[in-house]
Amino acid sequence: MAAQPAAAQPAPALAPAAAPEAAAAPNAAAPAGRSAVGFASTSLYVGDLAADVTDANLFDMFQQIGPVASVRVCRDAATRRSLGYAYVNFHTSVDAERALDVMNFQQIKNKPCRIMWSQRDPSVRKSGLGNVFVKGLAKGLDHKALYDAFSIFGNILSCKVAQNSRTKESLGYGFVQFADENSANESVARANNTSLANQRITVQAFKPKRARDDNDLPTSLSRTSLSLSTPRKNLLNCLPSSVKSVLLP
């Protein structure tokens, strides 16, 4: 029997860290049936999937929303192991949008999935347009809580809290990509230096690594923020661009 969508839980809200005028004001929501990507898309990306999730599992779940045209769990060409993400295609954009609203962050085989509009153009994904960087996140804050807090600024294409690849614990920062630059700018203007889950956060326009200024990045890392399981890639992303390698014992 297919799993039923769980009831939504209250999410932590952004709160002004100082003056009330810093509080965020919501944007208008997109009209029903029109996706945040600006066209009538019927295709969704479903990520963070457990290794044993199958096409049939996803078909049964998403069929509860509306007629599904096709489902494909992406797999390694040689081993046929799941790559942890899939594409779900509906017949109508209305059903696709409803699935995004209802199913995002729902548990699939005891693991919350992460859904966004399918965007096959790599130049759009890598451009950084509409993307903001959020740091200072509380350790218990997950993808859904970050999504809920920033959705008041506009339509979100992608939202992710960076995690330790082994322990899945939050690294204290994340990324939110909006459908348009205005929403991203508003989130920076209104959410920067506010409080989320009782912790002050910093919100900045995302800069690709090649465009970052060393002054934008920390010059040191606290010993408590590191562990032997911290991936080198994550360390390099936190350090000035002049640092080319990291040696861990």
| Mean pLDDT of the residues in the chain | 78
Where in the chain do CATH 3.30.70.330 domains reside?
Answer: 39-120, 127-210+228-236
Binned at pLDDT 50, 70 and 90, residue 248 comes out as low
Is residue 223's pLDDT more than 50? no
pLDDT at residue 30, rounded to an integer:
44
Q: The tokens 């996706």 sit on which residue? A: 35
What's the order of all strands across the beta sheet hosting 199-200?
14-15, 195-196, 199-200
CB 148 within 8 A of CB 184: no
Determine the Cα–Cα distance for residues 235 and 98; give it in Å rounded to an integer.
38
CB 154 within 8 A of CB 178: yes
pLDDT at residue 179, rounded to an integer:
86
Q: The tokens 């009209």 sit on which residue? A: 31
Percent of the chain with pLDDT over 70: 64
pLDDT at residue 126, rounded to an integer:
65
Across 193-203, b (16+ Cβ under 10 Å) vs e yields ebbbbeeebeb
SS (H, E, C) 150-166: HHHHCCEEEEEEEECCC
Most confident of 9-23, 110-124, 169-183, 201-215: 169-183
pLDDT at residue 165, rounded to an integer:
83
Fold type of domain 127-210+228-236: Alpha-Beta Plaits (3.30.70)
* Residue pLDDT, tens place only, 94-107: 999 999 999 999 99
* Residue pLDDT, tens place only, 63-96: 999 999 999 999 999 999 999 999 999 999 999 9
pLDDT at residue 113, rounded to an integer:
93
SS (H, E, C) 45-70: EEECCCCCCCHHHHHHHHCCCCCEEE
Most confident of 7-11, 128-132, 236-240: 128-132
Q: What is the pTM of this model?
A: 0.65
Of residues 205 and 231, more confidently modeled: 205
pLDDT at residue 201, rounded to an integer:
96
Could you tell me which residues are beta bridge partners of residue 112? 107
43-47/131-135 β-pairing: unpaired
Is residue 154's pLDDT more than 50? yes
Binned at pLDDT 50, 70 and 90, residue 10 comes out as low
The correct answer on CATH 3.30.70.330 for the domain covering 39-120 is yes
Determine the Cα–Cα distance for residues 166 and 228; give it in Å rounded to an integer.
11
Is residue 170's pLDDT more than 70? yes
Q: Which helix (H) or strand (E) holds 131?
A: strand 131-135
pLDDT at residue 40, rounded to an integer:
62
3-state secondary structure of 203: strand
pLDDT at residue 84, rounded to an integer:
95
